C-alpha cells in the first residue's frame, strides 16, 4: 500500500496492538526447502486450468500476480514463474509453531488466518519492553527459528495495526503513533478501509469520495443514506481511526472443512467418492491437529452450472476419524440424487466441534472398536516425519492424471 510518508516516528506510547503478517507465507515455506529458487518468481497453487494462486513471491507479484487469481491468468502475466503445488499439511504445521511462538510473548494472541494474528502486548511491557521492541524480537525469532519473514504493524487499534503491517511489507516494521493516526489514514485510498469492497468503493467514488480523508469529511447522514445506517456509521468511525475491538485470544474453531474443484466436471461416482475420501482424510487430520472432534458432517456438491447443494447429518458420537467422516459423506452424496450429475466441486465439513479430551464414545451392545483411530494417528505421526503424502489409503494411490485439481 502506497503512503506519502515512509516513517511516522517511533513513538509507540499507547500502541499495544501488533498485527503480525507472514510475508508470502506458503511460498516462503516452500523456499525453505528450495533455496535455489530465492529471487525467482514462484507461485504456489494447483497447476490445473481451474487452479488458483494461493501465494506468490514478491518477484512474481511485480508482474501483477496475487493470491486468489486464476492460475491461467497468473501464467499469462508471469510465464517464467516456477509453479509449486501446495502442501497444506506443511503450512498448517508451520502456522501452529509460529502461533505458539507468539504465545511466548503474550497470552493475548488472536489468530485471524494461518499466516497472521493480532497480539496485545500491553501486559508484556514490564517483562519485555516497549511494543516496537517486542515487535522487533518477534520478527527476529520468526526468522531465526522458522526461516521465514514477517511484517509487523504497531498501533493503538487492530484496524490501524493491520494497515501498518501492510505498509511494512515485505519484511518490515511500521509504527503508527497514537497521535498521528489521522495523518496516517487520511491520505490512503478509501478502498483501504475494512468493509469497503468493490461495490462499496464504486458507491463512494460516485459521491466523489476517493480517500479516507474524503470519507472522514463526509456527513454521516450522507454515508448512511448511500450505504445503510450501520455501514455508513462504521466506515466513518474507521476513517477517524476509531476501532474499539479488543484482541480476543483463543477463538475456538466453529467448523473445519476442505473442498476441491475438479479440473474438468466429473459425473463418475467412483472418482467423486475417491475425492470425498481424500477430503475426509484432510479434515480428520486437521481435527486431530487442533484437538477437536465433531458431530455434524456435511458435504458440498456444486454442479457444472454453479448451483450448489449441501447435505448434513449429526452423529450420536463426535469423531475425528476419517473413515467415519467418509462413510457419512458417501451416504449424503448417494442421497443427494446427484450421482449421475456432472460436478464441478465437492467438499466435506465437520461442525459442532468439541474438545477431543472431553469427548467420550459410547459403544452399542456387541459393537467393537474398529482400530481406525489408532491407525490414523499412526498416519499422523508418519506425516509429521515424512510429509502428508507419505502414507495414504490404497484407493488414493494412483497416477496424477486422474483429473483432480490437487
82-84/116-120 β-pairing: unpaired
Q: What are the distances in angstroms from CA 255 to CA 122, 148, 296, 352? A: 31, 29, 9, 7
**DSSP letter, residue 404:** B
Three-state DSSP class for residue 197 = coil
Strand pairing report for 173-175 and 150-155: parallel
Residue from 116, 260, 281, 324 carrying the catalytic annotation = 116
Q: How many CB atoms lie within 10 A of CB 126?
A: 6
Residues 181, 158 contacting (CB under 8 angstroms): no
Phi, psi (5° rounding) for residue 128?
Answer: -120, -15
Q: Which three cell numbers stand for residue 129?
A: 519492553
CA distances from 339 to 268, 331, 336, 344 (A): 8, 11, 8, 13
In the numeric block, the cell 458435504 is attached to: 299
Is residue 5 annotated as a catalytic residue, yes or no?
no
Contacts with 137 (C-beta within 8 Å, 6 or more apart), sequence order: 105, 128
User: Contact at 8 Å (CB) between 374 and 323?
Assistant: no
Rounded to whole angstroms, the Cα distance separating 263 from 342 reads 12
Q: Where does residue 185 rank: exposed (0-12), middle (13-18), buried (19+ CB within 10 A)?
A: buried
Contact 82, 97 (CB under 8 A): no
Adjacent-strand bridge partners of 286: none
Rounded to whole angstroms, how far apart are CA atoms 187 and 195? 18
* Sequence-separated (6 or more) residues with CB below 8 Å from residue 73: none
Enter the DSSP assignment of 108.
Answer: -
> Catalytic residue numbers?
116
Amino acid at each position: 500500500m502506497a503512503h506519502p510518508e515512509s516513517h511516522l516516528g517511533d513513538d509507540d506510547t499507547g500502541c499495544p496492538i501488533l498485527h503480525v503478517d507472514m510475508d508470502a507465507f506458503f511460498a516462503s515455506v516452500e523456499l525453505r526447502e528450495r533455496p535455489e529458487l530465492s529471487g525467482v518468481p514462484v507461485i504456489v497453487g494447483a497447476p490445473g486450468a481451474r487452479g488458483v494462486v494461493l501465494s506468490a513471491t514478491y518477484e512474481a507479484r511485480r508482474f501483477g500476480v496475487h493470491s486468489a487469481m486464476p492460475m491461467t491468468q497468473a501464467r499469462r502475466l508471469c510465464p517464467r514463474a516456477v509453479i509449486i503445488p501446495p502442501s497444506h499439511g506443511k503450512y498448517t504445521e508451520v502456522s501452529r509453531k509460529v502461533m505458539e511462538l507468539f504465545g511466548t510473548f503474550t497470552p493475548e494472541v488472536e489468530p485471524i488466518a494461518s499466516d497472521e494474528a493480532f497480539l496485545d502486548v500491553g501486559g508484556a511491557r514490564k517483562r519485555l519492553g516497549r511494543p516496537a521492541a517486542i515487535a522487533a524480537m518477534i520478527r527476529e525469532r520468526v526468522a531465526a527459528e522458522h526461516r521465514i519473514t514477517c511484517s509487523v504493524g504497531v498501533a493503538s487499534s487492530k484496524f490501524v495495526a493491520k494497515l501498518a503491517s501492510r505498509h511494512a511489507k515485505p519484511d518490515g516494521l511500521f509504527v503508527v503513533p497514537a497521535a498521528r493516526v489521522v495523518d496516517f489514514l487520511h491520505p490512503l485510498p478509501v478502498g483501504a478501509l475494512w468493509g469497503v469492497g468493490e461495490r462499496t468503493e464504486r458507491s463512494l467514488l460516485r459521491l466523489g469520495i476517493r480517500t479516507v480523508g474524503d470519507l472522514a469529511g463526509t456527513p454521516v447522514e450522507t454515508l448512511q443514506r448511500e450505504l445503510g445506517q450501520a455501514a455508513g456509521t462504521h466506515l466513518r468511525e474507521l476513517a477517524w481511526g476509531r476501532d474499539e475491538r479488543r484482541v480476543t485470544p483463543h477463538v475456538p474453531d466453529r467448523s473445519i472443512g476442505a473442498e476441491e474443484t475438479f479440473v474438468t466436471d466429473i459425473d463418475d461416482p467412483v472418482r467423486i467418492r475417491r475425492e470425498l475420501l481424500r477430503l475426509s482424510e484432510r479434515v480428520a487430520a486437521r481435527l486431530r491437529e487442533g484437538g477437536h472432534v465433531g458431530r455434524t458432517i456435511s458435504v458440498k456438491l456444486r454442479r457444472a452450472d454453479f448451483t450448489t447443494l449441501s447435505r448434513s447429518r449429526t452423529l450420536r458420537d463426535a469423531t475425528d476419524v476419517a473413515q467415519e467422516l467418509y462413510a457419512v459423506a458417501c451416504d449424503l452424496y448417494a442421497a443427494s440424487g446427484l450421482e449421475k450429475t456432472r460436478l464441478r466441486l465437492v467438499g466435506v465439513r465437520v461442525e459442532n466441534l468439541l474438545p477431543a479430551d472431553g469427548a467420550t464414545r459410547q459403544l452399542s451392545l456387541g459393537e467393537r472398536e474398529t482400530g481406525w483411530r489408532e491407525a490414523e494417528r499412526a498416519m499422523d505421526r508418519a506425516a509429521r516425519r515424512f510429509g502428508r503424502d507419505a502414507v495414504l489409503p490404497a484407493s488414493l494411490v494412483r497416477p496424477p492424471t486422474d483429473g483432480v485439481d490437487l
